[in-house]
Structure 1
Amino acid sequence: MKELLLITLTAAALVLSGCSSKQYFEPEQTYSASSVSSSYGSSIVDISRDGATLQNGHYIGKQGVSSITLGEGYRFLSESSTYVLAGNTEGALKIIKKSTGEPIRAVSLHVPIVSATIQNGIIAYVLNDNTFGIYQIKDNRKVVENRSERTYAIDTRAASPMFIDSLAVMPMLDGKLIILNSGDAENAKVIYLSSEKVFNNVIYLSRMGNTMVAATPKRLITLGGDGQNEYRANISEAAISNGTIYLFTKEGEVVKLDSTLNPIAQKKFKYAHFSAATAFGGRVFALDQQGSLIVLSSDLSKHKIYDLGEVDTPAFITGTKLYKDGNVIELSKLGYE
């Protein structure tokens, strides 16, 4: 774990040392979004795929800012309608009951938790030594726990496990998906996305109907009735809307793909570096690291750019809302014309 942390921090330092020569996205014209922006009284200190941890100890989940306190040193991992999951650097998994706001259990996993998901009282988790496991609340026991290949550096955008009926899909840190039955963990299926040596963890995992969509920083795949398809790019983010996949690249491109990953349309914004993105309601939204929010039509033919101000802390999007530096922006009220 210490080696993983050291190499990750070293890589981050190298990136920061080159910032002086970095070129930035500078749109010719921008618009204000102040009329659809309001303060929520805190700021984000950590993000996961399913939410964000706030400086005041609360969290942002799918329903917005929660009044539940996670506890000192804990970061938000995921939630269900009944429970909230939080973890700390000592590898403790805290399970909080939403109806009371109080923890019902703290499970010692001994290694910091990268991601976790809960469904019907069953928790699927991935640790930062590339261990995956399933824990059952009712019986207070680990159903399974195994370790995949060792990793030395990961991308911070780690995907969360996903349940498909009785199956748990584990997004591993070495570019694999491990699919196992939570009731019969002996027979697991492994899908290889990528074989890169570092920064190769699964950063995106979702469903589009009966098709599974997953990505590492270099490769996007779909797996479904049409078999397995792939698209290679330097990936910042991905989003799904109306049977379409939108891919956001590190070169400032927004690419529209069909379910078999054939490009339908694309638009490039020179020097844009996307930090958060989504798509819904016939629009595509991409936030540049310098604070420009690009709103595009679903076919990428039209766009409008809003200036939200420099991004000082991590930004997070859930539903129709963008949380940035203590403000929440209602994206559904922003257009591309």
Structure 2
Amino acid sequence: MKLALSSLSIATILLFTGCSHKEVYKPDNVKGEWRTAGRISSSIAQTGQSAALLENGHLLTANGEKNIKLPKNYRLINADNTWIITESPEGNMVLFPEDGTDAKVTFDFKRDIAAASIQEDVVAVLFANNEMALYSLESKKLLFKESANIPIAVDARIANPYFLKELVLFLTLDGKIVIVNSETKQLLRSVVVNSDEYFNNVTYMNVIDNNLVASTGNGVLALSQKEAREKYEIRNIAYTTEGIWLTTKQGEVIALSPTLQFKAKKKFPFAHFVGLSVQNDRVYALEQEGYMIALTKNLLAYDVYDIDMDAKNKIFLGDGRFYFDDRYINIK
């Protein structure tokens, strides 16, 4: 191996070095600076769709920083108004009350957990091998279990199970939505979001007005009376009653109807979007080189603003805020 490496010519090394040069987004015009609105107590260490964990152990939710400190080396899985779901270094699922009391609950799984959610006494868990399970919160008894295809590789953005009244929607690591009745403990239906082999876990899902929208990194599904699917290399997605907006790996911002009918597209060469939010009459796309692009919902007009942000910062989307490093900006 050493001989093979030493035989590489300088010209070859320079060729590889040249090819590794990365193009970045450079706007033609910057309207001004989008100023920092406030700070949090520490930099962001872990991020998820429902919450983030700061370097000092404090919890950050969509509503702001909580005066709750989680143990060191615990991994944040999910958080709601009642429970903070974490994974201990030993592979156990540990639930901390959101009100900050000491009445924690531990499930001795000793195995890797991908995602989890809680509704009343039902705990829905998706394990890293794509196995789905329901447990009783009070008794810790196993209520339901279903195996699925073990994924080869997954996107780090893993969506947690979704409760819809008595239904549990497991968002699997192989691109499906598996619907289970939590009362009868029966599997009712499985819906394919996307069927790619790699990095195909469901990364997003929401239901508005009986219309379900879900996505992987490679495609999006809309499910109401009919199923509709479209292929996009998705970085971020936002869904409201007015429609769907998404950003792609090609630097595009795309507007769709709630049933995935194409409405508009705007391309920003070499842009790498790290956040997306729809507020009032604007679509806000956060670009990792430190730019906020504020577009009209029809994507016909936009302004670009400078943001004091490092490309390596972890991003968390709150209620009308983008959090990064130890600060945030308002977008409402």
**TM above 0.5:** yes
The equivalent residue for 2:47 is 47
Q: 1:41 to 1:311 in 2, by over 3 A?
A: farther
Query: Cα–Cα, structure 1 residues 18 and 209, in superposed 2: closer, same or farther, change >3 Å?
Result: farther
Q: How far apart are residue 178 of structure 1 and its match? A: 0.6
Match of 2:130 in 1: 130
- CA distance in 2: counterparts of 1:20 and 1:144, whole angstroms: 49
Tell me, which stretches of 5 or more residues in structure 1 are unaligned?
1-16, 333-337
For 2:262, the equivalent position in structure 1 comes to 263
In the alignment, which residue of structure 2 is the partner of 1:107?
107
Asked if 2 retains the 8 angstrom alpha-carbon contact of 1:293 and 1:305, the reply is yes
The residue number in structure 2 matching 1:297 is: 296
The yes-or-no answer on 1:76 pairing with 2:76 is yes
CA contact (8 A) 2:293 2:303 kept: yes
2:234 equivalent to 1:242: no
Matches within 5 A, 1:324-335: 324-332=324-332
* Alignment deviations for residues 211-238 of structure 1 (CA, whole Å, 9 cap, x no partner): 111111111000112x100111111111
Aligned to 2:316: 316
Q: Work out the CA distance in 2 between the residues paired with 1:54 and 1:122.
A: 28
Q: In 2, distance between residues paired with 1:75 and 1:246?
A: 30
In structure 2, the CA distance between the partners of 1:330 and 1:74, relative to structure 1 (3 Å rule), is same
Q: Indicate the larger mover: 215-224 or 276-285.
A: 276-285
1:143 is displaced (CA, Å) by 1.5
1:207 correspondence with 2:180: no
What's the counterpart of residue 4 of structure 2? Answer: none
* 3-state SS in 1 of match to 2:214: strand
Q: Please give the TM-score of this superposition, normalised by the length of structure 2.
A: 0.89
Instruction: Name the stretch that deviates more: 106-115 or 162-171.
Output: 106-115
SS of aligned partner of 2:71: coil
Any idea what SS the aligned residue of 1:68 has? strand
- In structure 2, the residue matched to 1:142 is 142
Instruction: Output the CA distance in 2 between the equivalents of 1:152 and 1:90.
Output: 23
Structure 1 stretches of at least 4 aligned residues deviating more than 4 Å after TM superposition: none
Give the corresponding residue for 2:66.
66
Q: Is the 8 A contact 2:124 2:161 kept in 1?
A: yes
One-letter amino acid matched to 1:279: V
CA contact (8 A) 1:111 1:129 kept: no
Distance (Å, rounded) in 2 between the aligned partners of 1:163 and 1:314? 28
Separation in 2 of the partners of 1:123 and 1:160? 11
Cα offsets for 1:4-27 (capped at 9, x unmatched):
xxxxxxxxxxxxx99932211111
Per the alignment, in what secondary structure is the counterpart of residue 95 of structure 1? strand
Cα pair 1:95 1:106 within 8 Å, conserved? yes
Name the TM-score, length of structure 1 as normaliser: 0.88
The CA distance in 2 between the partners of 1:301 and 1:319, in whole Å, is 25
The residue type equivalent to 1:297 in the other structure is T
Deviations 1:253-307 (A, max 9, x none): 1111112201111111111111111112121111112121111111112211122
Corresponding residue for residue 13 of structure 2: none
Cα distance, 1:103 vs. partner? 4.3
CA distance in 1, matches of 2:133, 2:20: 42
> What is the one-letter code of the residue matched to 2:295?
L
Determine the structure 2 residue equivalent to 1:163. 163
Q: Distance in 2 between matches of 1:106 and 1:235?
A: 35
Work out whether residues 59 and 69 of structure 2, in 8 Å CA contact, stay in contact via their aligned partners in 1. yes
Secondary structure, counterpart of 1:196 in structure 2: coil
In structure 1, the partner of 2:252 is 253
Please tell me whether residue 231 in structure 1 is matched to residue 230 in structure 2: yes
Aligned to 2:33: 32
Superposition deviation, residue 93 in structure 1 = 1.1
- Secondary structure of 2:157's counterpart equals coil
Could you give the per-residue CA deviations for residues 282-337 of structure 1, whole angstroms, max 9, x where no partner exists?
211111121211111111122111222323221010210110111111111xxxxx
Which deviates further from its counterpart, 265-274 or 137-146? 137-146
* SS of residue paired to 2:110: coil
1:184 match: secondary structure: coil
How many residue pairs match? The answer is 314
Distance 2:18 2:139 in 1: 51
1:89 Cα offset (Å)? 4.5
Name the structure 2 match of 1:14.
Answer: none
Q: For 2:195 and 2:160, how far apart are their aligned partners in 1?
A: 20
Which structure has the larger Rg over C-alpha atoms? 2
